[in-house]
Structure 1
Amino acid sequence: MKVPGMLTLAGLVTGLLIGLMIAGKPIADTALAVAGPVGSLWLQGLQMTILPLVAGLLFSGIVETVAAARAGAMARRTLGIIVGFLAFSAVLGAALMPLLLELFPVPAGVSFDHRADPGKVPGLADFLSSLLPDNVVSAAASSAMLPVIVFVGLFALASTRLADEPRRSLAVLFEGLAGAMMVVIGWVLMLAPIGVFALGLTLGVRSGGAALGALAHYIVLVTAVGTVVMIAGYAIAVLVGRRKLGAFAAAILPAQVVAISTQSSIATLPAMLASSRKLGTAQTTSEFVLPLAVTLFRATGPAMNMAVAIYAAKLAGLELTTGALMAGAFVAFATTFGAVSLPGTISFVSSIGPIAAAMGVPLWPLGVLVAVEVLPDLMRTVGNVTMDVAVTCAVDTGVKDPQTIETIH
């Protein structure tokens, strides 16, 4: 499935430039009358896939995580570190991005005016009362993302206690659901150059040159959040993995270069194994932990996904409450277990859409931001690769006598 990332970016730039040129002219009203419905229709195509896609991915991800935890002491230590850091990453994004926006506000004059109702921003009481749905069907029908995610998570955990045959049947069902939704969202994203062009034209007419400044501002701030996560990888390697900072930096650099060139953690796996060998990590540890981390661990995901959703809220003119940030952080943490190594635009929608929905943030700012995801996605991959090797060092230090464990591929 190939998503036209560069064409989407070109569509955004072209739409913005045309919008800038016709702003204030009589033709602008006619252009908005056409571009508005086109952009809205494309966004609705994205939105209809989010809930079933998240349900399928989350169920499969939790089942795989539980299965991995049964592989032995090394697996449990690895997953303990992974789960702990993912929770930290979600909280980091919820705390750091509002601070960055306070210090470096969105450029003045940006208007993402849209006819869609942004929904209610949940307060603290709303967050607590919505954790468990009284009726999961009505919750799903009303796109109440948080209770649906809690239900699917509990359902997935319960399925791991079933006998083999019904457990496999449920796993296949949800795997098929996720796969079918991937195909649908792939079709919708094939039309992204058209949809994003329409959204970009609307933005250009209403915001003028400030729109370009806002997109550059967004890229810098979201990348900064990812950089903090990457730096945490160096800290874990030194403090928990007991490696020297210079040695870790030198060993991880080739893997980071490969990560930038491939934009894929899976494609960087051989380079990560080589980095681990340079750091003196036991072969049994690196050959077990790294494939597991590549499969389950998206270190930058919760923090950077929260950063994107918070920025989208700011563009939509919403003030997020503590309850909204808590709901977003919880969803960012939970949905990470359903993350997969897909093109950045698909994972962007499947990961950030649920966070935005849980926080009461409309989807339409994401329709524009997805076009420039190709740049922050570089930081995501480099940060994930750095953290994968750091976690391998930490596990290796904690396992005194690594036992021979079957490598997970």
Structure 2
Amino acid sequence: MTISFSAAARSLSLRVLVALALGLGLGGLLASTTTVPDAVVEAVRAVGGLWLSALQMTVAPLVFSALVTGIAAASDAAATGRLAARAVALFIGLVALVAALTLVAIPAILAVWPVNEAGVAALMAGAGGAGEAPTAPEGGFAAWLSSLAPGNPIRAAAEDAMLPLVVFGVFFGFAVTRLPAEQKRSLVGLFEALTAAMITIVRWVLLAAPIGVFALAFVLALRGGIASAGPLLHYIVLAVGACLATLVISYPLAVGVGRAGLARFARACAPVQAVAFSTQSSLACLPVMLERARDDLGISERTAGVVLPMAVAIFRITSPAANLTVALFIAHVSGIQPGFGALVAAGLVSIAVSIATVGLPGQASFFASLAPICLALGVPMELLPLLLAVEVIPDIFRTVGNVTADMAVTSALARGEADEPVSAEIAAV
């Protein structure tokens, strides 16, 4: 599976964004000029709720099957040689580091820069209180720890107990990698087919995204007024900032570990970032990444040819940063303060789904990534469709952050290869 962002996906994103604007505009206009009957409001809300439920029904099977195939792909990649194994270890380490930093930084930022109270009130009034949030297990750390291993994985999926389901999926995925080759191929093929089937359903549901988002935005503006748009702008700034913050890790990694030279690394990344900004596709950036890594950073074709395709296939450094930001933002506007156990659960799930959802279509990966994290954190998902509507903006910076990190890890890994000497001229810049 590969990361792609087709013209059709970009067209859908534009239609969804237009539907959001129309829904907010029409709802705000009617709210200020007339009284809409409650029966009409509830009917429109039901349309949006039906669309949201149709998306939710794919979450558990999609995340589980994609997690199994993702682990199998990472295992196969790591088994191809020492360089590949080092790359996979670095990918996982960086994703875990970003998840931990995000769990600390975003609550602190929201404490200093909270969403305007009037905007929160309008948003929650329009969202009908955002529904009921899943409840975290009671009994403190001991109960949380004992809940990690699901006594019944099927019941865990039915009850939206996402962390136990992910734990089971991780163990199942690694168990599959230890099977004889023929059995492994059969099982991985089965779960690849299941993933493809779930993606097909998601694509069908997303065809109705403009209708669903319009309905939800219309009710939001009708009940909460135009002030409900303020929190959406707040979210965009926060999500874009989280993606850009990953650059704080990428540049020191390339300069400090890869000894690339700051100016040279920045020049090598500039054309890659330009392609990422215009296409929102890591795969589309791969040819220019290979060229710049070789010509500007002095990395051999062997190292670049192994690490960069792997990075595009199984590594997205912005995934935990952006996804946890979304979930923590929803918790903030919903007035929920997750406990330590819920934060740890959300962090672990964000790491797992960063592997599981790599390669899924943009809109599908947004919901498949966010729904499990929201469930693990114990926050409602009713606001996700509205955030999906404006995701086209943060998604640009997700891709820019991802490709910059791809270049950085390639530079760092090249430094450790005995047959990959970086010339003195390049290292000195």
TM bucket normalised to smaller: over 0.9
The CA deviation at 1:122 is 5.1
Find the partner of 1:107 among 105, 116, 136.
116
Question: Which residue in 1 is equivalent to 2:379?
Answer: 361
Asked whether the equivalents of residues 107 and 210 of structure 1 are also in contact (C-alpha less than 8 Å), the reply is: no
Asked whether the equivalents of residues 289 and 392 of structure 1 are also in contact (C-alpha less than 8 Å), the reply is: yes
* 307-316 or 297-306, larger mean C-alpha shift: 307-316
Question: Which residue in 2 is equivalent to 1:120?
Answer: 135
Q: Which amino acid aligns with 1:198?
A: A
Find the partner of 2:240 among 219, 223, 226.
223
Asked whether the equivalents of residues 344 and 373 of structure 1 are also in contact (C-alpha less than 8 Å), the reply is: no
Question: Which residue in 1 is equivalent to 2:100?
Answer: 91
* 134-143 or 361-370, larger mean C-alpha shift: 134-143
Q: Matched residue of 1:27: which SS? A: coil
Matches of 2:340 and 2:224 in 1, distance apart?
29
Cα displacement string for residues 208-264 of structure 1 (whole angstroms, at most 9, x for unaligned residues): 222221111100011111111122111100111111111111111000001111110
Matches of 1:104 and 1:341 in 2, distance apart?
34
Matches of 1:207 and 1:279 in 2, distance apart?
53
Find the partner of 2:351 among 333, 339, 343.
333
Shift in CA distance, 115/231, structure 1 to aligned 2, threshold 3 Å: closer
Question: Which residue in 2 is equivalent to 1:17?
Answer: 25
Asked whether the equivalents of residues 272 and 288 of structure 2 are also in contact (C-alpha less than 8 Å), the reply is: yes
List aligned pairs for 1:10-159, cutoff 5 A.
10-23=18-31, 25-27=34-36, 29-109=38-118, 110=120, 111=124, 112-114=127-129, 116-121=131-136, 125=141, 126-159=143-176
Q: Which amino acid aligns with 2:77?
A: A
Asked whether the equivalents of residues 264 and 341 of structure 1 are also in contact (C-alpha less than 8 Å), the reply is: no
List aligned pairs for 1:276-355, cutoff 5 A.
276-277=293-294, 278-355=296-373
Q: Which amino acid aligns with 1:117?
A: E
Matches of 2:130 and 2:320 in 1, distance apart?
29
Any unmatched runs of 5+ in structure 2? 1-5, 422-429
Establish whether residue 213 from structure 1 lines up as the match of residue 221 from structure 2. Answer: no
Asked whether the equivalents of residues 122 and 324 of structure 1 are also in contact (C-alpha less than 8 Å), the reply is: no
Matches of 1:342 and 1:145 in 2, distance apart?
19
Find the partner of 2:215 among 173, 190, 198.
198
Cα displacement string for residues 112-170 of structure 1 (whole angstroms, at most 9, x for unaligned residues): 32473222145752532221111112112212111111101101101111111111111
CA-based RMSD of the aligned residues comes to 1.6
* 190-199 or 2-11, larger mean C-alpha shift: 2-11
The CA deviation at 1:402 is 5.0
- The alignment's TM-score, normalised by the length of structure 2, stands at 0.91
Matches of 2:180 and 2:102 in 1, distance apart?
39
Find the partner of 2:277 among 246, 257, 260.
260
Matches of 1:379 and 1:28 in 2, distance apart?
41
Asked whether the equivalents of residues 222 and 307 of structure 1 are also in contact (C-alpha less than 8 Å), the reply is: yes
Question: Which residue in 1 is equivalent to 2:185?
Answer: 168
Matches of 2:217 and 2:144 in 1, distance apart?
33
- The alignment's TM-score, normalised by the length of structure 1, stands at 0.95
Q: Which amino acid aligns with 2:134?
A: G
Q: Matched residue of 1:352: which SS? A: helix
The CA deviation at 1:202 is 1.5
Cα displacement string for residues 311-343 of structure 1 (whole angstroms, at most 9, x for unaligned residues): 122233322222111110000001111123344
Establish whether residue 269 from structure 1 lines up as the match of residue 286 from structure 2. Answer: yes
Question: Which residue in 1 is equivalent to 2:200?
Answer: 183
Q: Matched residue of 2:380: which SS? A: coil
Matches of 2:400 and 2:136 in 1, distance apart?
33
Cα displacement string for residues 282-327 of structure 1 (whole angstroms, at most 9, x for unaligned residues): 2210111000100010010011110011112223332222211111
Aligned length: 403
Matches of 2:259 and 2:247 in 1, distance apart?
17
Establish whether residue 393 from structure 1 lines up as the match of residue 405 from structure 2. Answer: no
Question: Which residue in 1 is equivalent to 2:252?
Answer: 235
The CA deviation at 1:367 is 1.2
Cα displacement string for residues 26-55 of structure 1 (whole angstroms, at most 9, x for unaligned residues): 216344222211111111001100000001
Q: Which amino acid aligns with 2:64?
A: A
Cα displacement string for residues 158-212 of structure 1 (whole angstroms, at most 9, x for unaligned residues): 1111111111111011101100000001111111101111110111122222222
Q: Matched residue of 1:267: which SS? A: helix
Matches of 2:384 and 2:333 in 1, distance apart?
10
Asked whether the equivalents of residues 22 and 28 of structure 1 are also in contact (C-alpha less than 8 Å), the reply is: no
Matches of 1:357 and 1:39 in 2, distance apart?
20
Matches of 2:192 and 2:306 in 1, distance apart?
24
Cα displacement string for residues 256-280 of structure 1 (whole angstroms, at most 9, x for unaligned residues): 0011111100000011112212111
Q: Matched residue of 2:282: which SS? A: coil
* 382-391 or 337-346, larger mean C-alpha shift: 337-346
Q: Matched residue of 1:268: which SS? A: helix
Establish whether residue 381 from structure 1 lines up as the match of residue 399 from structure 2. Answer: yes
